[in-house]
Structure 1
């Protein structure tokens, strides 16, 4: 499945390299544009291991590792375990986010509130995720996690919460249609949300948005 991207010898060597780092039971999980993704265990916890692809169009793991360090202790994204270089390729290890991507998950009201709170916290921290609107980088489980900060930036103006609210309620997409139907959202709610978001852009005060979501 991945033989054209990494040789059997290199894969075996990477597994040995990871074991020396304390990462056990490494198995292939998926492939992305920039990385090969593996699952493993570290000190009894499930982890994700991303290894840079040979044909990657960009190197982003160092930046992602720096962003994850900034987010430590904020309960927004799973903790960074390790970052480094293997055979000239970057790799990154983080705790696994249990749950389903928002795109496929059955969303409850408390999930919507948590998404608003965590995207607001990102805004306050000055970090723009850059890919919130796709729905694949928000994981819904016992907790809500935001993952994959490869394209995140501290230089862009953060718009995480406004992007999330547009995706959840305002835009025409699979996620918003499902949520509007489930919570029987009417035009009055959408008008009030647009007003609250306009105010938020100026004040960064999330209270009105949280109050609106809580009323669903």
Structure 2
């Protein structure tokens, strides 16, 4: 079940400093770090932080809170954006690598668009969609699900082709959202360019081979009859990652 969002309240970052400090310096920091991050907000052109989302930190609701960062809604030059802010207790020194990965995948139409960044803050296109797992459970139109799955697999193949593996896609419920029947892959903070894992095998394992309500529904919609052939193709794909094998996978999934 989706979490209920709060009503929006706009807070100006330079006036409500006690409130804003809880967000841009979560979970704690000294005055020097706070002033440094305020300068980053100013450099990025952030005018307002918008209190909106399912998770509350102090007086502000946020879009998400993870182990290394929090994500908040904001206003930049009259445009709504998403800010990813590094936690002060994160196990990485900055967000620069994630920004560089986003710049690469954006060239191929993957991920939220990166607008600007500093060491501690990413400014990204604001995406409001339905979490992948919830969307599959909710939608009753079989053809719509097939269309989205094909679009998603094509994006995953692009990532595999350029050698970027999103390591969180073994459980993609919250790392993929659906916006008007278009899949958007989020959270490129944990990626690898050296792993033997692939994006396609991770997601198909979740969709088909992990026995649950979602896999039962997807298997029925796709009309899968030869699971053994699919497993063989995926083992081959994991080694070679060619377009020919990818097309065979699509054909076996009855998505061609």
Taking structure 2 as the reference length, the TM-score comes to 0.70
Contact 1:126–1:158, Cα closer than 8 Å, also in 2: no
Give the aligned partner of residue 212 of structure 1: 252
Task: Please list every run of 5 or more consecutive structure 2 residues that lacks an aligned counterpart in the other structure.
Answer: 1-18, 51-60, 140-144
Instruction: Name the SS of the counterpart of 1:33 in structure 2.
Output: coil
Contact 1:49–1:91, Cα closer than 8 Å, also in 2: yes
Pick aligned residue for 1:25 from 48, 66, 80: 48
What are the equivalent positions in structure 2 for 1:125-144 lying under 5 Å apart?
A: 125-135=162-172, 136-142=174-180, 143-144=182-183
Q: Deviations over 1:30-79 (max 9, x none)?
A: 32111122112345543210111122233462211110111122111111
Distance apart, 1:117 and its partner CA: 0.6
C-alpha RMSD over aligned residues: 3.0
Instruction: Name the SS of the counterpart of 1:105 in structure 2.
Output: helix
Aligned residues: 210
Q: Which has the larger radius of gyration?
A: 2
1:49/1:193 CA distance change after superposition, 3 Å: same
1:105/1:44 CA distance change after superposition, 3 Å: farther
Q: Is 1:34 the equivalent of 2:68?
A: yes
Task: Please list every run of 5 or more consecutive structure 1 residues that lacks an aligned counterpart in the other structure.
Answer: none
CA distance in 1, matches of 2:122, 2:41: 11
Q: Is 1:146 the equivalent of 2:185?
A: yes
1:177/1:73 CA distance change after superposition, 3 Å: same
Q: Is 1:101 the equivalent of 2:131?
A: yes
Give the aligned partner of residue 206 of structure 2: 167
Higher relative contact order (CA 8 A, sep 6+): 1
Taking structure 1 as the reference length, the TM-score comes to 0.81
